[in-house]
C-alpha cells in the first residue's frame, strides 16, 4: 500500500527512524542514565531515585546475577512483580547482562504461571514474596535454579523498609511461601559488590520473551529483539518530541510493567525521554491511587479504557488537578466514545488513542498529539511502519474497505519461541504480521479498528461488529460495562448477545433493547441480554471475551 499516511503526519515527524542508532536496548538505557544522571527517574510509595542511582543499582544487580548466580548471555530470567522500584532496576540489570527477560503477571494462577516458566526454560526468577504460593506449587515442573524473593520496601531507606515490610508481613499477613528451595532474598543477593563483566550484545539478540495469546488465544512467547525494542522506543520518541519536553515530564505508571504497552511506553520510552515515572503498585486500590494523583503533580497520564472509566466513578476524582497535564494516552483496548466524552468534560483534556500488539513491541499507530478532540481512529502508522488491509488470501484491499490489518516494520517480532507453525500463521517471510483485527484506512491514512476478527458476528449473512454495539450500549446511563459476542442461533446462524454490568439495578432488558432500536439497525440489536455483577478481565482491565465464550460452550 502507498504510504498515504505520511501526508497527514504532524510537522516535524520524520517518515523513518534509524533502528540501528543504538546497538542494543541496554546501550540506549545507559545513555539515558548518563545524560540525565542527576534528574529523578523513578518514584514509588514516596521514595525517589535518580538516573545515576538507577544505573548504579542495575549494574550492581547485573554483576550479582553474573558472579553469584552464574547466569550468562542468553539465559532467561523471569520477573514477577507489580510496579516497584525493583522492576526497572531488574529490567536494566538483566538486559545489561545479556539475559532474556520473561515478564510474568504476579496474579497468575498455578496453571497460568507454569506455561511461560516451563516453555521459556527460565533459570532464575525475581518474585515479590507475596506472590510465591503459586510458584511453590509448580516449582518442581520448571527449570528454575534460582529464586530471588523481594519485598515491597527493599529499595527504600532502612527505617521505611522495615516499617512497610513488617506491616505487610504481620498486619496484612502477606508472607512468602516457606517451602521454596534455593530461594535467596533480593537484599542478600546484593550484599556483595562483585565487578560487572561487560557483555557483547548484538541488535538481533533476544531481549524479551513476551507471552501473549496472539491471534489464536494460545499463549506463545513473542521473541522481541534488542533492535525491535529500540526501534519502537525511537518511533515513539519522534512522535512525542515537540509536544513534550526532554527531561521535564512526569508520567503516571499505573499500568503494570509486565504488560508490553506499559513496559515500552511508561518505562523505556520515558527513561530515554528523561522523564520521572511515578510507579503505582496497586491501582486497584482506587482511593489510594486517587489520593496519590491529588498530592503529586504529573504531566502525562497513560491508561486503558477501564482505568479511565473506573477513575471517573470515584467520588474524589474531581479533586485531581489536571491543569499541568499535557497528554492523556490510551492503548491496549478501544476507548469507548462515552468514556472519552466524559473524561474531556471532567478534565478538559482529550484522550489520544494508539494501537499496538505484543508482536510489534507493541506500538503500530497513534493519533497526532495535537488533535483537540477524541477520535475513534487509532491514528497513523508510526515512522518506518508499513500497514495494509488484506483479505483472507492476503491480497491488498482498496482504501475504505474493511479487512484484516497487516503490519510490517523494525518493531515486528522475530517469531514465536519454539513455535514455527504458530509463527507461520501470522508472520510471513517478508516480515508482515497479520494482527487478527478487522480495520479500514481512510484517504488520509487514518486507521479505524472495526473489530477483532474472531469477534465479528455473522447474522443472516450480515457482518456485525461487536465494538459498534458495545459503543452504543456504553452510552446508556444505566450501563457501567458491556461486552458483546455472537452465539449460535438456529435461525440466523449467530445472534448478538450482550453481557451487561448495570449502574442502575432497575434497568430491564426491554429498556436496553428500546435504547438500541434508536441507534442500531434491526439485525445489530442484541437478541440476548445477560445482566452480570462483573465481567472477566485481563491484568490491564481488558474484557476476556474468550472466558465468556468458554462459559457459553459449557452451558450448551
Whether 218 shows a pLDDT value over 80: the answer reads no
The confidence score (pLDDT) of residue 458 equals 85
Averaged over 338-350, what is the pLDDT?
Answer: 95
Q: What is the pLDDT of residue 552?
A: 86
Given pLDDT bands bounded at 50, 70 and 90, which one contains residue 43? very high
Strand boundaries in 348-492, DSSP class E: 351-356, 363-366, 380-381, 386-390, 403-408, 415-416, 433-441, 447-452, 457-459, 462-464, 479-489
Q: What pLDDT score does 217 carry?
A: 58
Instruction: Note whether 1-19+227-385+436-452 and 25-201 share their fold.
Output: yes
Rounded CA-CA distance 73/207 in Å is 10
Say what percent of the chain tops pLDDT 70. 99
Is 385's pLDDT higher than 70? yes
Domain boundary assignment for the chain: 1-19+227-385+436-452, 25-201, 456-554
CA distance 427 to 423: 6
Lowest mean pLDDT among 324-338, 355-369, 460-474: 460-474
Which of 75-79, 298-302, 315-319, 373-377 is predicted least confidently?
Answer: 373-377
Which CATH class name applies to 456-554?
alpha beta
C-alpha 385/C-alpha 432 separation (Å) is 10
CA distances from 393 to 101, 257, 359, 389, 407 (A): 35, 37, 21, 11, 15
Q: Which of the four pLDDT bands, split at 50, 70 and 90, describes residue 176? A: confident
Instruction: Provide CATH code, domain 1-19+227-385+436-452.
Output: 3.40.50.12780
Architecture of the structural domain at 25-201? 3-Layer(aba) Sandwich (3.40)
Q: What is the mean pLDDT of residues 291-300?
A: 97
The whole-model pTM stands at 0.89
Q: How far is CA 13 from the centre of its chain?
A: 24
Q: For residue 530, give every residue at least 6 positions away whose Cβ sits within 8 Å of its Cβ, in sequence order, or none.
A: 497, 498, 499, 500
* C-alpha cell belonging to residue 359: 508482536
The angle subtended at Cα 260 by Cα 257 and Cα 266, nearest 5°, is: 55
Mean pLDDT lowest among 55-59, 81-85, 299-303, 463-467: 463-467
For 106-152, write each residue's pLDDT tens digit. 988 888 899 999 999 999 999 999 999 999 999 999 999 999 999 99
Q: 395-430: per-residue pLDDT in tens? A: 999 999 999 999 999 999 999 999 999 999 999 999
Residue pLDDT, tens place only, 148-167: 999 999 999 999 999 998 88
- pLDDT tens-digit profile of 73-86? 999 999 999 999 99
Residue 258, helix vs strand vs coil? coil
Of the pLDDT bands very low, low, confident and very high (cuts 50, 70, 90), residue 556 is low
- Mean of per-residue pLDDT scores for the chain: 94
Whole-number pLDDT of residue 175: 75
Amino acid at each position: 500500500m502507498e504510504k498515504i499516511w505520511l501526508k497527514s503526519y504532524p510537522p516535524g515527524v520524520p517518515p523513518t527512524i534509524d533502528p540501528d542508532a543504538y546497538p542494543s536496548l541496554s546501550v540506549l538505557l545507559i545513555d539515558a542514565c548518563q545524560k540525565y544522571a542527576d534528574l529523578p527517574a523513578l518514584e514509588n510509595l514516596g521514595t525517589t531515585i535518580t538516573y545515576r542511582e538507577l544505573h548504579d543499582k542495575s549494574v550492581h544487580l547485573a554483576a550479582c546475577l553474573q558472579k553469584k548466580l552464574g547466569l550468562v548471555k542468553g539465559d532467561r530470567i523471569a520477573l514477577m512483580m507489580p510496579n516497584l522500584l525493583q522492576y526497572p532496576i531488574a529490567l536494566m540489570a538483566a538486559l545489561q547482562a545479556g539475559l532474556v527477560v520473561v515478564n510474568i503477571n504476579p496474579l497468575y494462577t498455578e496453571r497460568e504461571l507454569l506455561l511461560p516458566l516451563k516453555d521459556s526454560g527460565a533459570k532464575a526468577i525475581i518474585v515479590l514474596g507475596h506472590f510465591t504460593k503459586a510458584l511453590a506449587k509448580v516449582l518442581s515442573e520448571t527449570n528454575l535454579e534460582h529464586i530471588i524473593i523481594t519485598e515491597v520496601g527493599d529499595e527504600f531507606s532502612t527505617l521505611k523498609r522495615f516499617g512497610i515490610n513488617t506491616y505487610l508481613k504481620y498486619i496484612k499477613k502477606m508472607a512468602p511461601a516457606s517451602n521454596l528451595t534455593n530461594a535467596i532474598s533480593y537484599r542478600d543477593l546484593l550484599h556483595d559488590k562483585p565487578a560487572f563483566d561487560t557483555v557483547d550484545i548484538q541488535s538481533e539478540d533476544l531481549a524479551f520473551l513476551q507471552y501473549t495469546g496472539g491471534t489464536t488465544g494460545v499463549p506463545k512467547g513473542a521473541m522481541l529483539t534488542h533492535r525491535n525494542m529500540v526501534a519502537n522506543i525511537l518511533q515513539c520518541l519522534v512522535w512525542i518530541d515537540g509536544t513534550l519536553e526532554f527531561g521535564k515530564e512526569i508520567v503516571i505508571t499505573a499500568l503494570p510493567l509486565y504488560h508490553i504497552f506499559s513496559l515500552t511506553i511508561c518505562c523505556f520510552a520515558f527513561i530515554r525521554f528523561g522523564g520521572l515515572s511515578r510507579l503505582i503498585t496497586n491501582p486497584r486500590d482506587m482511593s489510594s491511587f486517587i489520593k496519590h494523583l491529588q498530592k503529586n503533580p504529573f504531566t502525562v497520564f497513560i491508561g486503558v479504557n477501564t482505568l479511565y472509566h473506573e477513575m471517573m466513578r470515584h467520588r474524589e476524582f474531581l479533586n485531581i488537578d489536571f491543569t499541568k497535564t499535557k497528554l492523556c494516552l490510551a492503548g491496549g483496548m478501544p476507548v469507548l466514545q462515552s468514556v472519552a466524552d466524559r473524561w474531556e468534560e471532567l478534565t478538559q483534556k482529550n484522550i489520544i488513542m494508539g494501537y499496538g500488539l505484543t508482536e510489534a513491541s507493541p506500538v503500530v499507530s497513534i493519533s497526532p498529539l495535537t488533535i483537540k478532540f477524541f477520535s475513534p481512529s487509532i491514528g497513523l502508522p508510526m515512522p518506518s511502519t508499513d500497514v495494509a488491509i488484506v483479505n483472507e488470501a492476503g491480497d491488498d484491499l482498496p482504501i475504505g474497505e474493511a479487512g484484516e490489518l497487516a503490519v510490517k516494520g523494525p518493531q515486528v517480532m522475530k517469531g514465536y519461541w519454539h513455535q514455527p507453525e504458530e509463527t507461520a500463521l501470522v508472520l510471513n517471510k517478508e516480515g508482515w504480521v497479520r494482527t487478527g483485527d478487522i480495520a479500514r484506512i481512510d484517504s488520509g491514512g487514518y486507521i479505524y479498528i472495526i473489530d477483532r476478527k474472531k469477534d465479528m458476528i455473522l447474522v443472516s449473512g450480515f457482518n456485525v461488529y461487536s465494538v459498534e454495539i458495545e459503543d452504543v450500549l456504553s452510552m446508556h446511563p444505566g450501563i457501567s460495562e458491556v461486552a458483546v459476542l455472537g452465539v449460535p442461533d438456529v435461525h440466523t446462524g449467530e445472534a448478538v448477545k450482550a453481557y451487561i454490568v448495570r449502574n442502575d439495578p432497575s434497568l430491564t432488558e426491554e429498556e436496553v433493547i428500546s435504547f438500541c432500536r434508536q441507534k442500531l439497525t434491526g439485525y445489530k440489536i442484541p437478541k440476548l441480554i445477560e445482566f452480570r455483577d462483573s465481567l472477566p478481565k485481563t491484568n490491564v482491565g481488558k474484557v476476556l471475551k474468550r472466558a465468556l465464550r468458554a462459559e457459553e460452550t459449557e452451558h450448551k
